[in-house]
Structure 1
Amino acid sequence: MSEPLKVQARLAAPVARVRQALTDPAELRVWLAEHAEVELPERYEFWGRYTPEGDAPHQRLLHVHDDSLSFGWLLDGVETTTGFQFAADGPDATVLTLTQSHFDFAEAMSGTSIRGVLQTYWALSIANLAAHLEGKPLLPRTDFTSADLRGELVIAAPADKVWESLTDSEQASAWFGYPIGIEPWVGGRYAMGGFEAGYAAKIVDLEPGRRMSVDWGPTGVTNWELAESGGRTTLTFVQSGFDETNPPYGAWSGTVAGLFELRRFHEMTAWQPIWLAEEVPGLDPQPTF
């Protein structure tokens, strides 16, 4: 069995506030799941279209303390274990540590099990938890019942600045938290892991300052389009051209989670990523998006 997935993030709220957001069912319905019911110390459940295999609640509370929470989660016939730990980082910040068992990157690449989405599912969920705690608009949550993968994000920055950060290798590597090599022209490479990684997608459409499309092969084409109004930029993003019987939910969630830092990159004067790990959760030199 592979080692448990571990992700750490620094959240801009004290421990008690973070714990409340993770245990109050009304708040969970805002940032995590369509449906949630919590009755501590007996029950911790969430389900709905934004939850993998969310047709019904499949969680079983294992333990809850002031500084930790864990539950079993039945996915694809296997009970996985999810754990949260909270540690104060000064009076107004918390280091949240997530651990998740039964994640296998091979399953993420192949799409053979819903457990393959767990890494990027939690990356997007924690990004939305951070946005919720900061009072910012949420990122689009992944609808695991739909093959329509599209969303938009409003960024308080002019379109030329957002475009530069999407197409400049150095800036994109900074906000995405992982090396990215970009040749911003039609036919150019878009290389997660950098040009030396040995794998690159291909830019198949580009209108400078406005739109770009990147072809990732079997998992489809990522399309970004910018529109500016009043000094703010709406970024519309769509994934298309994939097998609709097996949508790339894991890759999509990772893409959207990365855009959380793109917004903060532009809107914070002293930007620092929330992620404490060296890599943004969900990324690999050969991603599926």
Structure 2
Amino acid sequence: MTAPLTLRARAAASVKAVWQALTDAAELRIWLAEHAEVELPHRYEFWGRYTPEGDAPHQRLLHADDHTLRFTWLLDGEETTTEITLIEEGAESTVIALSQTHWSFEDVTSGASIRGVLQTYWSLAIANLVDHVEGRPLTPKTDFTSTKMAEEVVIDAPPEAVYESLTDSAKASEWFGYPIEIEPFVGGRWAMGGFDNNPDPAKVLDLTPGRAMTVDWGPIGVVSWELEGSEGKTKLSFVQSGFDQPPYAGWTGWLSGLAELRRYHELADWRPIWLAA
């Protein structure tokens, strides 16, 4: 078995507040799942359309103390294990550390197992947990029962600033947290990891300067976004289409990226929530 997936993020909130959000069923229904039931130390369950294979609760609680949850999660016939630990940095600073077994990049690229969504699923979930405890609006969750991939987010920044951060390689790499190179013209390349490290980059199909871009990602479809400004804010409409099978891992990754894009523009003292694992 491969090494567990690990993620670490920082929330500007107390351990008590983060633990409450993590273990109170009513709060879980806000930032994580459509349905949730918690009865520590015996039960920790979440399910519904925003949960992979969420037709019913598939979790079994193994351990719970003042700072740690560990539970199994049956996904695609495999009993995976999730552990979430809270580490106090200060009165209003908490590190959220998550480990998840039974994830591999092969499942992401092949789509052979729903477990391929686990990295981006937990990235979006943690981003929403952080925004929830910091009192900020949440990013839309992935509906794993739908084949429609279209969302809107409002960013408290003017369209020209948002457009630059979506088309300038340095700015996009900064908020996305991973090297990105973009040629912002029709026929240009869009390369996750950079041109030298990506032998098969996406292709820019259409571009309206200052407003919209459409990028062809091959088998996982075409991604389009459009900006609309009003009263100093920007509505970003985001669509992924043209795929054979819903690319839930990729779609959820885009949504988790949009969560950080919003923070990038809206927080004067912005720094990434993500820490080295």
Same fold per superposition (TM over 0.5): yes
1:250 aligned partner:
249
The one-letter code sitting in structure 2 at the alignment partner of 1:152 is E
Per-residue CA shift, 1:36-85, capped at 9, x if unaligned?
A: 00011110000000000000000000000111111000001110000001
Alignment of 1:107-122 (within 5 A): 107-122=107-122
Per-residue CA shift, 1:130-160, capped at 9, x if unaligned?
A: 1111211111100000000111111111000
2:23 aligned partner:
23
1:53 aligns with 2:72: no
SS at match of 2:274: coil
Counterpart CA distance in 1 for 2:168 and 2:65 is 45
* Structure 2: stretches of 5+ with no match in the other structure: none
Runs of 4+ in 1 over 4 A off after TM superposition: none
1:183 aligned partner:
183
How many residues in Structure 1 have an aligned counterpart in Structure 2? Answer: 276
Deviates more, 1:131-140 or 1:93-102: 131-140
SS at match of 2:166: helix
2:157 aligned partner:
157
SS at match of 2:18: helix
Alignment of 1:1-289 (within 5 A): 1-197=1-197, 198-243=199-244, 246-277=245-276
Counterpart CA distance in 1 for 2:69 and 2:196 is 41
Counterpart CA distance in 2 for 1:68 and 1:42 is 14
> Normalised by the size of structure 2, how large is the TM-score?
0.98
Task: Give how far 1:199 is off.
Answer: 2.9
1:286 aligned partner:
none
Deviates more, 1:77-86 or 1:133-142: 133-142
SS at match of 2:128: helix
* Structure 1: stretches of 5+ with no match in the other structure: 279-289
**1:192 and 1:199 in contact (8 A); partners too:** no
**1:52 and 1:144 in contact (8 A); partners too:** yes
Identity %: 64
Counterpart CA distance in 1 for 2:59 and 2:269 is 39
Task: Give how far 1:277 is off.
Answer: 2.2
Per-residue CA shift, 1:169-210, capped at 9, x if unaligned?
A: 000000000110000000000000011112310000110011
> Normalised by the size of structure 1, how large is the TM-score?
0.94
SS at match of 1:72: strand
